[in-house]
A and B are shown apart, each in its own frame.
Chain A
């Protein structure tokens, strides 16, 4: 098993990690739903490529299978489920997020700095070549979390949640070349079911509240 290949592997991994973070920034900016779903598909694509690269250099066939499964679910299945949902919901008046774009970007930058500060001990003790990408992955997690907080539409919240999942998968990938298979399968199953259920809820919310703006669901208080 090739553990320390020549230099380009590390740089390729860093490039792909940077691309992943760029995609999440872009997803934040786009307002139209279908554009956001496309951004998510691209981001998942980048991530599955990174997994393949790590599998190749790390030399574990098992990880390669995971990369393929990841690509299948996150690039093909979930995006067309979401696009079906978007078309079903139909046109809606644009619901502005809580914070304007510039403020959101400023906060995301802050979150990236936080990510670097938090992941410092992991970076220090990690001997794997892919360790520099870990803060970027964790930044992806925080940005995904922030999207669920900031965005008002249900679908965008689901995308935020999925970005969060991607970030975590990436951290696992870069830190330990992926977690054992059984766990990976369990995670994929849960994420898939979660998205399906969320999609069902989006239809019901649309039906009951005739808009997917989750913010105005405030009946239960005190």
Chain B
């Protein structure tokens, strides 16, 4: 019942907004929907902490892993949603009410599709939902209808659609492997994992290849990542926060589901080596772009590619530490990246340029935004008090335990390179004298308050992890097949 409520809230909100005319109505429905989704998602996640999954008409099923994802989607959705109200008020005035309506409606639709993708048990429906996320965000990327917006949106659509079609082929082959072995069977993950030991390893490996390329495109893994910098830098701040923070994790979620099956059938070696290779390639390419980057939104986008690479490395290293590190890093990355993209929105509003050299003396001009931006970037490049430092430590520890020392060492070196590049860029923005025409003071204060929650959670994940949360992660690991 909670499950249906969770999915209904964004769907209904989206429908209602698309009908309403006045901006205030839209904003209120949007805000209430986001907060309601957060509450329901939170309750669901806490209840699922106990471990036994909740199923509904063999279509929807929330086990520990999906509860984990629901919690992330709901939380970041709420933070970005509240911020979006402040952002849209300054970005679009009342003459462009049509765009505002489009923004809020598609925002809620986007949250709905993501929630559907992580809560469904049927792999086909999951594929459709993920394809739905692309379709929902395409118009959001192009909301300013500029030349570059159009180009980014078209590339995003064509590449995601082509990429995900391959994922569907992978799902079909997985279904074929199941039906060839057992005969008539629904395309549900639980049944698939049940009969996984008996499946034909070659077909499952072939299917996993397509899954890796297909959902890898959605997750932003290396050779398939080229749409990501354009789409995330052109989209408005709240949307790129959601896309970077959560949508990439949904892609990784799908990969983890199929990896669980493939590992049981064909042994972990196959999926691990390729995940590690793609992860390292993502890290390397992102480092090349981050060494000297001129546009701070593209910098954040490339750092998403980098962190997806780290999570893929974590999944590739596997074992208790590897999987736990990857999950933790997903949360840390979602929290820090969404905060940073929202702040980049405020910076864009204040400085009217995405060029790093154009932004000077941010700490002087907008002290709050500047300070939080600094904390966010420090978290992102892996400095101690924040979460990513611990999760990266755990991932690389798994790397050494999985005897893939070469990958781990190269990964650490590339991270140091990224650290140098990003710190340099951020320093150029934060310090120095702010130019005169930039009026001092933050663009708006109250919509940024919820972001304090991000910071507190980041430090929380960095230093201490209460037992309840540890036990929750234990269940998630059991689902993924690491802890038996």
- Using a CB–CB cutoff of 8 Å, the interface residues on chain A facing chain B are 118, 121-122, 125-127, 141, 145, 148, 154, 157, 161, 164-165, 168, 171-172, 175-176, 179-180, 182-183, 186-187, 189-190, 193-194, 197-198, 201, 204-205, 208-209, 214, 217, 219-220, 222
B179 within 8 A of A: yes
The CA-CA distance from A118 to B173 in the complex, in Å, is 12
- Residues of chain A lying within 8 A (CB to CB) of residue B125: 182-183, 186
- Whether, in the assembled complex, B168 has its beta carbon less than 8 Å from a beta carbon of chain A, the answer is yes
Name the A residues within 8 Å of B131 (CB-CB): 190, 194
Q: B157 contacts A179, CB within 8 Å?
A: no
| Bound Cα distance from A175 to B158, whole angstroms | 27
Are B138 and A219 within 8 A (Cβ)?
A: no
CB distance from A123 to the nearest CB of B (A): 11
* Distance from B43 Cβ to chain A, minimum over Cβ atoms (Å): 28
Which stretch in B198-206, B383-391, B404-412, B465-473 binds the other chain? B198-206
Contact status B148-A219, CB under 8 Å: yes
A198 touches B128 (CB 8 A): no
Q: How far is the CB of B200 from chain A (nearest CB, A)?
A: 5
Known: A125-B200, A175-B172, A190-B128. A197 touches B186 (CB 8 A): no
User: With A and B bound together, what is the CA distance between A33 and B131 in angstroms?
Assistant: 27
Q: How far is the CB of A190 from chain B (nearest CB, A)?
A: 4
Q: A179-B175, A189-B128 are in contact. Are A164 and B162 (CB under 8 A)?
A: yes
A121 proximity list for chain B (CB < 8 A)? 200, 202-203, 206
- Nearest residue, chain B, Cβ from A181: B124
CB distance from B132 to the nearest CB of A (A): 7
Which residue of A171, A189, A204, A220 contacts B169 across the interface (Cβ within 8 Å)? A171
Contact (Cβ within 8 A) A171 B135? no
CB–CB A180/B200 < 8 A: no
Residue of A nearest to B151 (CB): A217
Asked whether A168 lies within 8 Å of B168 as measured between CB atoms, the reply is yes
Establish whether residues B162 and A161, one from each chain, have CB atoms under 8 Å apart when the complex forms: yes
* B59 is an interface residue with CB less than 8 A from chain A: yes
Q: Which residues of A contact B155 (CB under 8 A)?
A: 217, 220
B273 at the A/B interface (Cβ < 8 Å)? no
Chain B residues within 8 Å of A171, by CB: 169, 172-173
Complex contact B161–A194 (CB within 8 A):
yes
For the complex of A and B, list the 5 residue pairs with the smallest distance between their C-beta atoms, beginning with the closest.
Answer: A183-B124, A186-B128, A121-B202, A175-B176, A217-B151
Contact indicator B150/A125 (Cβ below 8 Å): no
